[in-house]
């Protein structure tokens, strides 16, 4: 073997472990961690049912437009309060972060009061039940939904004057139909469950009634009944 070939072979043998050692010193690339996926935004679209409870305060006025008869009947503007509670159902449609919906409810109420308006006269008022059918419009912030609402209201409403002296009774009727407007805030604390707080103002049309007779003496009585309600309530809904 020539001296040049012997030198090259020796150099290769010496360089081999140096190259292996250099390779082991190279940095090792760590595996990439998968980026965690964010949960999709909450969507309010769908049907729901639920229950509610709260307080209601009403205002019933009678004006005594005309009275000719025995004694005195005074006009009055009375306020009364009670608890209210019932059930509701509705449906929402979500477009981007705008939520439109419809809702109907029916509640029972304990609100009632009687006021003496004359020597033989009593003004009786009561809200026995209240039902509404409303549209809702809100702006969704993921699971938070502030909204405004309005529609038609129906009530089992008593507003009457009872005179035991003549005697006679006048009333606006056992039911009333009016309108309602309000707003609220709803929060979805689960994919199926949400809770809400809501305020509604309800107004019924004024109604004028009159009665004539002989009773204890000839009389004519006419009055105008004016009724409105306000309610604040909380509720819970199950979304399908």
Res 36 pLDDT > 80? no
Q: What is the pLDDT of residues 80-97, one digit of tens each?
A: 999 999 999 999 999 999
Architecture of domain 46-239: Beta Barrel (2.40)
Cα–Cα distance between 148 and 138 in angstroms, integer? 6
pLDDT of residue 11: 44
Q: What is the pTM of this model?
A: 0.82
Asked whether residue 239 carries a pLDDT value surpassing 80, the answer given is yes
- The answer to whether 194 touches 237, Cβ cutoff 8 Å, is yes
CA distance 154 to 102: 16
Query: CA 132, 136, 142: angle at the middle one, nearest 5?
Result: 135
Cα distance from N-terminal residue to C-terminal residue, the chain: 91
Cis preceding linkage at 167, omega within 30: yes
- pLDDT higher than 80, residue 13: no
Residue 141: Cβ within 10 Å count = 12
Find the DSSP H helices in the chain. 3-24
Average pLDDT over residues 200-227: 93
- When pLDDT is cut at 50, 70 and 90, the band that residue 9 belongs to is very low
What are the boundaries of each domain within the chain?
46-239
Collapse the DSSP code of 171 into the 3-class scheme (helix H, G, I; strand E, B; otherwise coil) and give the result. Answer: strand
pLDDT of 107-134, one tens digit each? 999 999 999 999 999 999 999 999 999 9
Strand partners, 47: 91
Q: Kindly state the percentage of the chain with pLDDT values over 90.
A: 78
pLDDT at 8 exceeding the cut of 90: no
- State the average pLDDT for the chain: 88
Strand partners, 159: 125
């Amino acid at each position: 073997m020539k001296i040049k070939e012997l030198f090259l072979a020796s150099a290769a043998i010496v360089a081999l472990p140096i190259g292996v050692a250099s390779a082991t010193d190279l940095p090792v690339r760590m595996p990439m961690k998968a980026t965690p996926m964010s949960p999709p935004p909450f969507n309010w679209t769908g049907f729901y049912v639920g229950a509610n409870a709260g307080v209601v305060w009403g205002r019933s006025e009678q004006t005594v437009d005309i009275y000719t008869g025995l004694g005195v009947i005074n006009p009055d503007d009375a306020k009364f309060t009670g608890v209210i509670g019932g059930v509701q159902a509705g449906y929402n449609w979500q477009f981007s972060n705008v939520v439109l919906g419809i809702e109907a409810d029916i509640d029972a109420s304990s609100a009632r009061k009687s006021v003496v308006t004359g020597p033989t006269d009593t003004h009786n008022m009561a809200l026995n039940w209240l039902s509404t059918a409303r549209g809702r419009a809100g702006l969704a912030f993921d699971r938070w939904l502030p909204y405004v609402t309005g529609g038609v209201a129906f009530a089992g409403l008593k507003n009457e004057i009872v005179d035991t002296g003549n005697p006679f009774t006048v009333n606006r009727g056992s039911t009333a139909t009016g309108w309602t407007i309000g707003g609220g805030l709803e929060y979805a604390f689960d994919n199926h469950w949400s809770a809400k707080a809501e305020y509604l103002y309800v107004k019924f049309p004024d109604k004028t009634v009159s009665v004539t007779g002989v009773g204890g003496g000839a009389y004519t009585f006419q009055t105008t009944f004016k009724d409105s309600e306000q309610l604040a309530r909380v509720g819970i809904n199950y979304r399908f």
